[in-house]
Structure 1
Amino acid sequence: MSLPDFSIAEMASLSVAGSGLCRDAIIPPGKRGEGFDAAYDRTTLWYDAVRRDGALLLVCPKLLNLAPLLSEDALRLDGTPARICRVRRWRRHDIIEIAASTPAATVSTSLGAWRGESGTSPDQSALFAGLNASLHISRNNRPEWVADWARFHIGEHGLQAMLVMDNASDAYPPEAILDALAPTGLKRAVVLKVPQTYGPVRTKNGGGGAKFLQPAMLNLARLRFLRRARAVLNADIDELVWSRGGSVFDAAVKSRLGFVTFSGRWRMPPAGLAPPFRHADHTHLRRNGTACPTKYCLRPDGWRAGIGWDVHKPEIRLPIGLLKRGDFGYWHCRGITTNWKSYNRLSPGGAGPEDPFTAAKLAERLPRG
Structure 2
Amino acid sequence: MPKLTDPAPAPDAPLLDASGAAVSLLGSGIKRQIRVPEAARPPEFDAQYDADTLWYDAVRQGEDVLLFCPKLWDLARLLKRGEITADGAPVQLRTIRYHRRHDVARLAVPRSAHGLRIEAEGWSASCPISPDQRDLFAGLNASLHISRDNAPEWIVDWARWHKARHGLQAMVVIDNGSTAYTPAELLAALAPVGLTRAAVLSLPQPYGPVRAKQGGGGAKFLQPAALNIVRARFLGRARAVLNADIDELVWSTTGSVFDAAVASRLGMVSFAGRWTCPPGQAQPPLRHADHVCYMDHRPCPTKYCIVPEGPLRWLSWDVHRPERFPLGRFTRREDIGYFHCRGVTTNWKSYNRLKARDVTPDPHLEQMLAETLG
Structure 2 length normalisation: TM-score? 0.94
C-alpha distance after superposition, 1:35-63 (max 9, x if no partner): 00000000000000111111011011000
The answer to whether the 8 Å contact 2:40/2:211 transfers is no
User: In the aligned structure 2, how far is the partner of 1:260 from the partner of 1:278?
Assistant: 27
- Three-state SS of the structure 1 residue aligned to 2:312 is helix
User: In the aligned structure 1, how far is the partner of 2:360 from the partner of 2:82?
Assistant: 63
User: In the aligned structure 2, how far is the partner of 1:305 from the partner of 1:129?
Assistant: 15
Is the aligned partner of 1:329 residue 2:337? yes
User: In the aligned structure 2, how far is the partner of 1:281 from the partner of 1:207?
Assistant: 37
Please list, as runs of the form range in 1=range in 2, the aligned pairs for 1:1-369 lying within 5 A after superposition.
2-71=11-80, 73-204=82-213, 208-287=217-296, 289-321=297-329, 323-347=331-355, 349-367=356-374
User: In the aligned structure 2, how far is the partner of 1:322 from the partner of 1:130?
Assistant: 25
- Three-state SS of the structure 2 residue aligned to 1:58 is strand
- Three-state SS of the structure 2 residue aligned to 1:18 is coil
- Three-state SS of the structure 1 residue aligned to 2:313 is helix
Change (3 A) 1:130 1:333: same
Q: 1:316: how far off?
A: 4.0
Aligned-CA RMSD value: 1.5
Change (3 A) 1:82 1:72: farther
Q: 1:187: how far off?
A: 1.4
The answer to whether the 8 Å contact 2:68/2:104 transfers is yes
User: In the aligned structure 2, how far is the partner of 1:205 from the partner of 1:331?
Assistant: 29
Q: 1:353: how far off?
A: 1.3
User: In the aligned structure 2, how far is the partner of 1:103 from the partner of 1:140?
Assistant: 37
C-alpha distance after superposition, 1:193-243 (max 9, x if no partner): 111011001344568531000000000011111001010000000000001
Change (3 A) 1:102 1:187: closer
Matched letter for residue 41 of structure 1: D
The answer to whether the 8 Å contact 2:302/2:321 transfers is yes
Q: 1:108: how far off?
A: 1.8
- Three-state SS of the structure 2 residue aligned to 1:22 is coil
- Contiguous gaps of at least 5 residues in structure 2: 1-9
User: In the aligned structure 2, how far is the partner of 1:73 from the partner of 1:180?
Assistant: 44
User: In the aligned structure 1, how far is the partner of 2:293 from the partner of 2:215?
Assistant: 29
- Three-state SS of the structure 2 residue aligned to 1:33 is coil
**Identity across the alignment (%):** 54
User: In the aligned structure 2, how far is the partner of 1:73 from the partner of 1:96?
Assistant: 13
Q: 1:302: how far off?
A: 4.0
User: In the aligned structure 2, how far is the partner of 1:257 from the partner of 1:207?
Assistant: 32
Which sits farther off after the overlay, 255-264 or 353-362?
Answer: 353-362
C-alpha distance after superposition, 1:151-195 (max 9, x if no partner): 000111000010001110011111221122111121111011111
- Three-state SS of the structure 2 residue aligned to 1:75 is strand
Matched letter for residue 300 of structure 1: P
The answer to whether the 8 Å contact 1:51/1:103 transfers is no
Q: 1:125: how far off?
A: 0.8
- Three-state SS of the structure 2 residue aligned to 1:71 is helix
Change (3 A) 1:351 1:280: farther
User: In the aligned structure 2, how far is the partner of 1:72 from the partner of 1:160?
Assistant: 44
Q: 1:78: how far off?
A: 2.1
Structure 1 length normalisation: TM-score? 0.95
The answer to whether the 8 Å contact 2:173/2:201 transfers is yes
C-alpha distance after superposition, 1:282-301 (max 9, x if no partner): 110113x1101100001000
The answer to whether the 8 Å contact 2:79/2:93 transfers is no
- Contiguous gaps of at least 5 residues in structure 1: none
Q: 1:97: how far off?
A: 0.7
Q: 1:306: how far off?
A: 2.4
Q: 1:363: how far off?
A: 1.6
User: In the aligned structure 1, how far is the partner of 2:70 from the partner of 2:12?
Assistant: 31
Q: 1:72: how far off?
A: 5.6
Q: 1:357: how far off?
A: 3.3
Change (3 A) 1:76 1:96: same
User: In the aligned structure 1, how far is the partner of 2:237 from the partner of 2:178?
Assistant: 28
